[in-house]
Structure 1
Amino acid sequence: MFKWYRQVSSLERKTFWACFSGWGLDALDVQMFTLAIPTIIAVFGIDKTQAGLISGVTLVASSLGGWVAGTLSDRIGRVRTLQITILWFSVFTFLCGFAQSFPQLIFLKALQGFGFGGEWAAGAVLMAETIRSERRGKVMATVQSAWAVGWGASVIFYTALFYFLPPETALRAMFMIGLVPALLVVYVRRSIPEPEKRAVPQSSGEKIPLVGIFAPEVLKTTILGALLGMGAHGGYYALMTWLPTYLKTERHLSVLSTGGYLAVIIVAFWFGCMASATLIDRIGRRRNVALFAICCTITVCMYLLLPLSDTEMLFLGFPLGFFAAGIPASLGALFNELYPAHIRGTGVGFCYNFGRIASAGFPVLVGYMSKSMPLGQAIGIDAGIAYGIVVLTIMFLPETTGRSLN
């Protein structure tokens, strides 16, 4: 599975670890919010719809950040943009710990999201352009597995802090831990050069058109990529934003039990990324995405819509996390291979992050629907629709396996 790691160059390894670390630390910051939703509702005196609104606003801001950062990486370089975005989301995650009201929290979360979306766009293009084409799918999917590592770390922090500290103190401490990713900038600055073939000309004065991804020859690709991003993000965020709250408030699990159930899903998510890494270069991007999307739709419906016991839910959590991982693990390679170099950062940033804008309504809708139906049912319906969009969209995109990034 990791044979490729011994065969790549020192630069490819350093770039891999920079992107892997950045994505894992992103997950640490973002997943802290989903774990803390019940406490946020209590501390700030808001309802579930307002809590969903925080998530929705963060996703919209991250979408804008991803598009802007993708375009910026085409102008000033991938590495420099990566450093800026890491610092940005780290600082604003930390500042969320000082919010005293709902408006302050939603404002700071929006700024955090702007940097978070930008970091993925810059890092994904940097990794794709650094690694050789025959290993691109495998390596990009492995980078995606860092999300499980960061997610797992957030659950550990959540379990420890909420077990030993009063809820409000633990909540603020979780946000303040978000400053840690800023240290990654030191490593990136010292170790990662700009990809030589993609370095931005210093004297040509050439400008990268922001609207280049809407040119006639790539317009269909951009529309389909955006819809794919919407389905992939909509399913994930509808499910993972509200799952900790569902386990705690409707299944009545304790903090320690909730952490245990989530641990199963997180470990499975990592294995799902590794399975996707193994399959994506063998069966192709389209088949890989379709396979995981269909399996994920079935599993989500079973997990949330059937009358399962706590033990059955624990065991079903593994396929839930496993299949949820395969779709995002495929997007990094696929989106990069859809666009030429001069608009690649813009295209990747737009498709991936437009999906976030469009998917921002899913967590909000779950919160709204839960007023008239059980929360688990609302999550299951929304996530099922989103993953269905993935299955339909991927049928109309070209197969890009082995495509050279020129």
Structure 2
Amino acid sequence: MKGDKVSQQTDTSLTGFYKVMNPKEKKTFWGCFLGWALDGMDFMIYPLVIGTIIAVWQVDRGMAGLAVTGTLLASAFGGWFAGYLADRIGRVRTLQFTILWFSTFSLICAFTQDFNQLMVARALLGFGFGGEWAAGAVLMGETIRAEYRGRAVGSVQSAWAVGWGAAVLLQAIMFSLLPPDMAWRAMFVVGFFPALLLLYIRRHVEEPEIAKVAREKVVAAGDSPSILEIFKPGILKTTILASLLTMGAQGGYYAITTWVPTFLKAERKLTVVGSTGYLAFLIVGSFVGYLFGAWMADRFGRRKLFMTFSLGAIVLVLAYTQLEITNEMMMWLGFPLGFFASGYFSGMGAFLTELFPTRLRGSGQGFCYNFGRGIGALFPALVGYFSAQYGLAMAIAIFAVIAYGVFFIAAVILPETRGRELQAN
């Protein structure tokens, strides 16, 4: 089927896909939704406590941002390896392994004794964090039928905002009950709880049939794919362009979300608890953006979603960081900023699933998304270092605009894949 041909749909509403999902699809949906929510909670704990870490251990902003960069770089390798592993041993087994990994290292973060130890623990957490997305996105993309894939996978992506919101709520509670030097540690302890999700996945989530058939064909032919096969001539162009797409998408996102909490405290003079309302508007906007993006990906296509939201994100980040506005106006502006800076991720999982053949899907999807994350990981550190000379607001704006510009260009060049049926090859 051609990539731009959409299957006949009886219900084009956002939630229409869920009504017709079979029990297997629903169990996979909720398993991946919870996994991504808890993944998001674990990752967002550090950006929320970064100001406290700077104060407690006397760390400069550049080094503090480098810890985020280290986590994301490690996640790039973790996602690539997990994607390859998912092609070899299965999507579900790889998903279980990665959730246990990042949960364990979140707990270890709570007991680190200096900033260097924390950086190492966060980097190792990132290895599993990147792998969880790679395994979960492929699992969802292959389980859900083509006409609902964008909305289903995109709705799972919205779980990131749920996890982010949980982290902000956790921050408000812990910093209200405990002194700062204990509160940040308590937050990382709670980050171990995602490991409990393994009990649900082991009982309810099954391997996609198309993935099992593809692996059987590979074994029968004695032609196991190499981890480097995605760089061969027939697929190299797709790998490069998809990697640039995800680099721009994630570079912009992390430049904003890593430093906005510190921006609110350092430049807008808000307390940790006082900034919670501002972050709440940002997170609610993000959640609505994910849901709208999921609907838009199926209704109008993946490329139109990416191009529209990248341009919107550029406009909003400039307004948020460069306009002289009151704190009240900034609070309200957080909603559209979160909307445009997050919603495009809803189309990413389905888009990458549809770009690669089944035998290479885990490797291709895992590498491209996490290569983009790895290069995008440089942006938080660059923002931190450049903020010393240009100020935090200007540094955020510079690198967010560069990232979203790359995202837009890659989206223009890549093909539309909406409605593409997956084959067991």
Shorter-chain TM-score category? over 0.9
Q: Aligned AA for 1:207?
A: S
Q: Aligned AA for 1:286?
A: R
**Map 1:145-184 → 2, pairs under 5 A:** 145-184=158-197
Q: Please report how far the alpha carbon of residue 203 of structure 1 lies from its aligned counterpart in structure 2 after TM superposition.
A: 5.5
Question: Does the CA contact (< 8 Å) of 1:163 and 1:255 recur in 2?
Answer: no
Deviations 1:17-58 (A, max 9, x none): 000000000011011100000111122221100001100000
**Map 1:266-281 → 2, pairs under 5 A:** 266-281=283-298
Q: Please report how far the alpha carbon of residue 361 of structure 1 lies from its aligned counterpart in structure 2 after TM superposition.
A: 1.2
Q: Please report how far the alpha carbon of residue 208 of structure 1 lies from its aligned counterpart in structure 2 after TM superposition.
A: 2.0
SS in 2 for 1:115: helix
Partner Cα separation in structure 2 for residue 325 and residue 110 of structure 1:
23
Q: Aligned AA for 2:244?
A: L
Aligned to 1:119: 132
Determine whether 1:328 maps to 2:376.
no
**Map 1:25-174 → 2, pairs under 5 A:** 25-174=38-187
Partner Cα separation in structure 2 for residue 208 and residue 219 of structure 1:
15
SS in 1 for 2:36: helix
Partner Cα separation in structure 1 for residue 157 and residue 206 of structure 2:
22
Question: Does the CA contact (< 8 Å) of 2:297 and 2:346 recur in 1?
Answer: no
Question: Does the CA contact (< 8 Å) of 1:27 and 1:151 recur in 2?
Answer: yes
Q: Please report how far the alpha carbon of residue 196 of structure 1 lies from its aligned counterpart in structure 2 after TM superposition.
A: 1.7
SS in 1 for 2:389: coil
Partner Cα separation in structure 2 for residue 388 and residue 51 of structure 1:
26
Deviations 1:218-238 (A, max 9, x none): 111100000011101100000
SS in 2 for 1:98: coil
Partner Cα separation in structure 2 for residue 224 and residue 3 of structure 1:
32
**Map 1:1-400 → 2, pairs under 5 A:** 1-199=14-212, 200-201=215-216, 204=220, 206-400=223-417
Q: Which range is displaced more, 249-258 or 8-17?
A: 249-258
Count of residue pairs brought into register by the alignment: 406
Deviations 1:179-199 (A, max 9, x none): 100000111011111112211
SS in 2 for 1:46: coil
Question: Does the CA contact (< 8 Å) of 1:94 and 1:177 recur in 2?
Answer: yes
Question: Does the CA contact (< 8 Å) of 2:41 and 2:191 recur in 1?
Answer: yes
Q: Please report how far the alpha carbon of residue 247 of structure 1 lies from its aligned counterpart in structure 2 after TM superposition.
A: 0.3
Partner Cα separation in structure 2 for residue 327 and residue 137 of structure 1:
11
Identity of aligned pairs, percent?
A: 52
Partner Cα separation in structure 1 for residue 46 and residue 200 of structure 2:
27
Question: Does the CA contact (< 8 Å) of 1:94 and 1:179 recur in 2?
Answer: yes
Partner Cα separation in structure 1 for residue 284 and residue 154 of structure 2:
15
Q: Aligned AA for 1:300?
A: V
Aligned to 1:405: 422
| Runs of 4+ with >6 A deviation | none
